[in-house]
Amino acid sequence: MSLDILSSAKVFDGWHKQYRHQSTSTRCEMRFAIFLPPQTATGEKVPVLYWLSGLTCTEENFMQKAGAFAEAAKLGIAIVAPDTSPRGEMVADDAEGSYDFGLGAGFYVNATQAPFDQHYQMYDYVVSELPNLIEEHFPVTDQRAISGHSMGGHGSLMIALRNSERYSSASAFSPIANPINCPWGQKAFKGYLGDNESDWTQYDSSELMKRSENKQLPMLVDQGDADNFLDEQLRPQTLVDAAELSQYPLTLRMQPGYDHSYYFISTFISEHLRFHSRYF
């Protein structure tokens, strides 16, 4: 599979690059960004942190705002950030043009409902296609961690819980912890997956954690207590309750005064990178 490079910039003696490629999962052109730490310049292969962004974001938001490169360079970790949905003229969007469904809001599921089932196969893209592409074309190992924010926090925890053998650790900032019981999740899951709510639970981190049989995957979640979306959309207590029920090794930290923004993420991203580094 060919990759077209869109940009390249040296940063902290490593390289930030953007690429596009034709995806077999989403049947359209996809973009991703990658940070390659300085260790790769000498041929060393490094582990990868996959970062999933939130509603309205692209592959650019985390790379530009999170301030992760200095610590990733120090630790020798590559970071890969995909786009949050398929895009293009033929890709279906929300008829009302809202921000929380359609373009920029793929929710990291495999859609089953027309017309979204033609392109919105973000689960397969993130779990299989993108890592295969990265490991084929870049100097990385098959050691993977996964993290994300908001909708991407939902994606990172859900994907890790469903594929614990593929990741050494998982983390999240302000995740949508119980999407089957919040407005964002209910709208997206109905549109992408249909009216059968039993089909939704396979993409709900709290539901997955309740019945998780693999209790070996370390998981760190940070949530700001001044987040405007805390009670209605994010519902972190459901994740805590699920972890207690199943005795899952979850660490969830409520951070006083922090909101939903990248100011919050940039404050704690180095701690998350060190967390993941311990388990590579």
Give the three-class secondary structure for 251: strand
Ranges of the chain whose pLDDT falls below 70? 1
State the pLDDT at residue 212.
Answer: 83
State the pLDDT at residue 216.
Answer: 82
Active-site residue flag, 169: no
Beta bridge partners of 19: 5, 32
Residue type, 65: K
DSSP, residue by residue, 106-140: -TT-B--STTGGGT-BHHHIIIIIHHHHHHHHSSE
Regarding pTM above 0.95, the answer is: yes
The rounded distance, in Å, linking the Cα atoms of 51 and 41 is 22
- Residue tagged active-site, from 85, 147, 150, 205: 150
Active-site residue flag, 150: yes
Residues 6+ apart with CB under 8 A from 219: 157, 160, 169, 170, 171, 248, 249, 250, 251
- Residue tagged active-site, from 156, 227, 276, 277: 227
- Residue tagged active-site, from 260, 272, 276, 277: 260
CATH number, domain 3-278, options 3.10.250.10, 3.40.50.1820, 1.10.630.10, 1.20.58.220: 3.40.50.1820
Active-site residue flag, 227: yes
Integer CA distances (angstroms), 208 to 45, 137, 164, 166, 172, in order: 33, 33, 12, 16, 16
